[in-house]
Amino acid sequence: MPMSPPPPNSPASPPSPPSRSAAPGTSAALQLDAGEFSAEERSSLLRLAHDSILSATEHRDISLDSPSPHLAEPRGAFTSLYFHGELRGCVGYILPVYPVYRAVAETARAAAFDDNRFPPVTRDEAPYLEIQLSILSPARAIQPEEIETGRHGLLISAHGRRGLLLPQVPLEHGWDRVTFLEQTCLKAGLPIDAWQKGATIEAFTAEVFGEKLGG
């Protein structure tokens, strides 16, 4: 099937000085929304992600036709791959450029083969990958004080640069809200305080599911 790699967006953070600890009252777990996607839809998307990667190693095509109107809705999406518990690739679309079904197929294959932080996934590795999917809501402008770590992902942009971090990232690193803002600025290649100096700040939520979360 024709697969064009998504823009090189990933939720991994750049190297940085030691960060602040999460502030008292910060959520200790990702605040998932009530669950827009049913168990059947989640399973379908995870199967698709696996098959998209396996099909590339086997040089065969797969169908990108969405099995339901809901999965045909355009969404931003990220696919994270893990091998033996370690990150093995993560690529995504920030904007809803494709139906969610195709976005998952595209980002899964790109995470496996086009994330330049890692060598391409091998045929032997492919069957043992664990997959985590993050389906994004539309981004909206937000004030810094409104940001909730564990609920919001951030998109910060200025001067033609743009950086994105997913909602789970600050929890994985124990960041408070200010550190989250600073790290997203660094991800964009902006000064650490750009969020205080006119950069555009947008937030989104994500429904996160997959083998990495125990289903």
Give the residue among 111, 81, 69 at the shortest CA–CA distance from 93.
Answer: 111
Same-domain status, 54 and 108? yes
Is the pLDDT at 36 greater than 80, yes or no?
A: yes
Chain mean position to CA 119:
19
Which of 29-38, 145-154, 200-209 is predicted with the least confidence, judged by mean pLDDT?
A: 29-38
At 195, phi and psi to the nearest 5? -65, -20
Q: Which amino acid is at 136?
A: L
Q: Indicate which CATH number applies to the domain containing 86.
A: 3.30.700.20
Binned at pLDDT 50, 70 and 90, residue 94 comes out as: confident
Whole-prediction pTM value?
A: 0.72
Does 82 fall in a domain?
yes
Give the whole-angstrom CA distance, residue 208 versus residue 30: 9
Give 129-166 pLDDT, tens digit per residue.
Answer: 999 999 999 889 999 999 999 999 999 999 999 999 98
Give the residue among 109, 105, 38, 108 at the shortest CA–CA distance from 68.
Answer: 38
Does 92 fall in a domain?
yes
Which of 24-33, 42-51, 93-102, 161-170 is predicted with the least confidence, judged by mean pLDDT?
A: 24-33
Last residue of a domain, one of 108, 136, 164: 136
Mean local confidence (pLDDT), 80-92: 94
Which domain covers residue 188, as residue numbers?
138-206
**Strand, coil or helix: 78:** strand
Provide the pLDDT for residue 212: 61
Same-domain status, 130 and 142? no
Last residue of a domain, one of 89, 112, 136: 136
